């Protein structure tokens, strides 16, 4: 009796669509990544145990920076604290979900923080976040 030889199997994964898959991944990353538009002042934010992640997209967050020399920056410009309301108010009209993140240096003084808060209240931007680090 003749035993038939096992036919050799050529197994190969089709790789023709590989570039398409990879390109799709690239396009996903290119579209979803937001490049930093503004850079603020050099600050060292304080740390806190109750720090929570902000569950809101970067596009809905407006940053206010205040450093230890009491300089205040918003949208890449140094401003007087009470002028913040003029900048924040139109933004809030455009985007009612706007959240204001205060990036204040831990050596900063409270009167600056208060001036910013008063300006934000004047602009009815009431949802704020004190930016902190995890302790």
Partner 1 sequence: MFVGERRARVAEIPTASMADIAFLLLIFFLVTTTIDSDKGISLTLPAMGEDFKVQTQIITNILINDAGQVLIDDANVGLQQVRETISQIVQQSPLDENGRPRQIFSILTGKLTKYGIFIDVLDQVKQAGATKISIAEPRE
| Interacting residues with partner 1 (CB under 8 A) | 15, 18-19, 22-23, 25-26, 29-30, 33, 45-46, 48-54, 56, 58, 61, 99, 101, 104-114, 117-118, 120-122, 124, 126-135
Q: Least separation, in Å, of the C-beta of 15 and partner 1?
A: 7
Q: Least separation, in Å, of the C-beta of 26 and partner 1?
A: 5
Residue 44 to residue 92: CA distance in whole angstroms: 27
The closest of 117, 60, 113, 64 to 91, measured between CA atoms, is 60
Distance of CA 124 to the CA centre of its chain: 22
Nearest residue (CB) to partner 1, 6 versus 63: 63
Burial of 129 (0-12, 13-18, 19+ CB in 10 A): middle
Nearest residue (CB) to partner 1, 8 versus 20: 20
Nearest residue (CB) to partner 1, 5 versus 36: 36
Strand-pairing partners, residue 99, are 61
């Amino acid at each position: 009796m003749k035993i038939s030889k096992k036919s050799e199997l050529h197994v190969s994964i089709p790789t023709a669509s590989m570039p398409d898959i990879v390109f799709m991944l690239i396009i996903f990353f290119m579209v979803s990544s937001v490049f930093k538009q503004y850079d603020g002042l050099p600050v060292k934010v304080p740390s806190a145990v109750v720090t929570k992640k902000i569950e809101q997209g970067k596009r809905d967050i407006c940053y206010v920076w205040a450093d230890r020399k009491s300089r205040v920056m918003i949208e890449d410009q140094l401003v007087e604290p009470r002028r913040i309301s003029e900048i924040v108010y139109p933004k809030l009209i455009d985007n009612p979900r706007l959240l204001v993140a205060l990036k204040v240096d831990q050596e900063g003084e409270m009167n600056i923080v208060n001036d910013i808060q008063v300006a934000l209240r004047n602009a009815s931007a009431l949802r704020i976040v004190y930016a902190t680090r995890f302790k």
